Amino acid sequence: MADDCPKCPPAGAPLWLATFADLMSLLMCFFVLLLSFATMDAAKFKKVAESMEDAFGVQRDIVAVEVPMGTSIIAQHFSPAQTKPTPLEQIKQTTNQQTTKLDVSVEDMEDVKQKMLKAKMGEIDDQAEKIEGSLAQEVGEGLVSVETEGLKIIIRINEKGSFPSGTAILKSGFEPVMEKITSAVNDTKGIVHVAGHTDNIPISTDWYRSNWELAAGRAVTVADFMLKKKGTERNRIVVEGYADTRPLVDNDSAANRAKNRRVEIIITQEDPTLGLKAEDVSEMIQTDSLQDKSN
């Protein structure tokens, strides 16, 4: 009779048990190694623990009479490492400390805007005086007048000497005046509005059905003369016709109606305060303060 029993398991532990035990040992060593590399900020952990105690209503200390059982061996032999700031954090902190920003109040913003507008107005006045000087003879004869209104320079061409009554054709001999006006406009920056105006007496002829058509026709005539000259930028010109809707004076006399019959060349300057930001104002204030110290 054979000694081996086919129903009995082989003697000793199964073969896979040794491999399983090695795997468990390696996993334990792996997690012990991870814990030893871990860093812990003790101060932050204490603050979090205190906030958790307040949140859950733990307001008293329980004195431990005996040492709690089950103390971790890892906790006894490993202490948390102290955290140190990385070079990147140190660079950021240094940069933030060196960066300074000047707070800009509403008063500072308004003060800077007023200064910018005042400087722009002075520049516009100088340009208007230059234009008026180039047209001194025509201004003296009452053919043209020059004035400023805010950020605008207005060159007003009166009907006297420029257009015959009821037509939009320039009088013979007025071309030299238009040459001077065109040259003065081309030397000035800004959008150019050419606007025609009439009095309140209705007109109805074969050429012009209403005052609107006459006003627009005179504005087109002036704009066309300017555009034919070298140096005139087409994208600057805007043609407008207002008929009798914007009179200078009341149309209650022949002299006043003559004043209202005109063509205005309005050079509109850009507002320097548009798009002004707090950063720009801060830089201006700092620059002014540096200049004051240097002086």
Domain co-membership, 28 together with 130: no
Domain co-membership, 26 together with 166: no
The tens-digit pLDDT sequence of the chain (295 residues) is 445 566 666 667 778 888 888 899 999 988 888 877 776 667 777 777 777 776 665 555 555 556 555 555 555 555 555 666 555 555 555 554 444 445 666 776 777 778 888 888 899 999 999 999 999 999 998 899 999 998 899 999 998 889 988 899 999 889 999 999 999 999 998 999 999 999 999 988 888 899 999 999 999 999 999 999 988 999 999 999 999 999 999 999 999 999 999 999 999 988 887 776 666 666 666 666 545 545 5
Please say whether the beta carbons of 157 and 144 come within 8 A: yes
- The answer to whether residue 34 sits within a structural domain is yes
Domain co-membership, 159 together with 212: yes
Please say whether the beta carbons of 156 and 131 come within 8 A: no
Ordered strands of the 262-268 beta sheet = 144-149, 152-158, 262-268, 191-197, 237-243
CATH of the domain at 172: 3.30.1330.60
- The answer to whether residue 135 sits within a structural domain is yes
- The answer to whether residue 10 sits within a structural domain is no
- What is the domain extent for residue 199? 107-268
Please say whether the beta carbons of 156 and 270 come within 8 A: no
Domain co-membership, 75 together with 111: no
Domain co-membership, 247 together with 149: yes
Residues 6+ apart with CB under 8 A from 31: none
